[in-house]
Amino acid sequence: MSNKQKSECTDELKGKRVAILATDGFEQVELTRPRDAITEAGGDVQIVSLDMGEIQGMHHDQLGDKVTVDAIVASANPHDYDALVLPGGVQNPDTLRKSADAVEFVRAFFEQHKPVAAICHGPWMLVEAGVVQGRRVTSYASLKTDLINAGANWVDEECVCDEGLVTSRTPEDLTAFCEKMVEEIAEGKHAAQVA
């Protein structure tokens, strides 16, 4: 990418505020790469979690880095954000989907027609929030049955975009995931993005 292209991209998300919902056990690169893509495009990112402090990242089954939490999901207002990102890691969404506050936070983005990007095990939160009926999605392969049972049209593709809902399978898909995520956030609300 030339310097001219880079400078043209840096303001793509200027004025946009994006929530990344995560807790302990998130797959580190699935949080850090989207976070960096958003900030490099001029957006502002807040890490939203169950409690203040730090959350523990993972590199597959090895401990990764800790990330500082900016807001608690119980008091975070979805109206304050333009989009939502849901990283994977098995423990992360499995813990979050037990939180009524986290589930309602996710559902609110669909009710407000805002872009949502979920990767790997992140789409578990979409199942719990009841927002995948009739939607075309992908995920980590082990979630296929859960998503189909929740009414989704599951496909095995690198990156799937359905009216503001961006999903991908694994960290290997992050380049396509981040590019499409930034594009959808820049576009803003999508009328067909509904709960």
- At residue 191, the 3 state secondary structure works out as coil
Residue 132 neighbours by CB under 8 Å, 6+ apart: 123, 126, 147, 150, 151, 152
50 Cβ neighbours under 8 A, 6+ residues apart: 23, 72, 73, 74, 95, 96, 99, 101, 102
Residue 64, helix vs strand vs coil: strand
Three-state DSSP state, 44: strand
Question: In the beta sheet, which residues pair with residue 153?
Answer: 136
Q: Which residues have CB under 8 Å from 42's CB, separation 6+? A: 10, 11, 12, 13, 14, 15, 16
Region of residue 60 (left: phi > 0; alpha: psi -120 to 50; beta: else): left
User: Which residues are catalytic, by number?
Assistant: 120-121
What residue type is 21 in one-letter code?
Answer: L
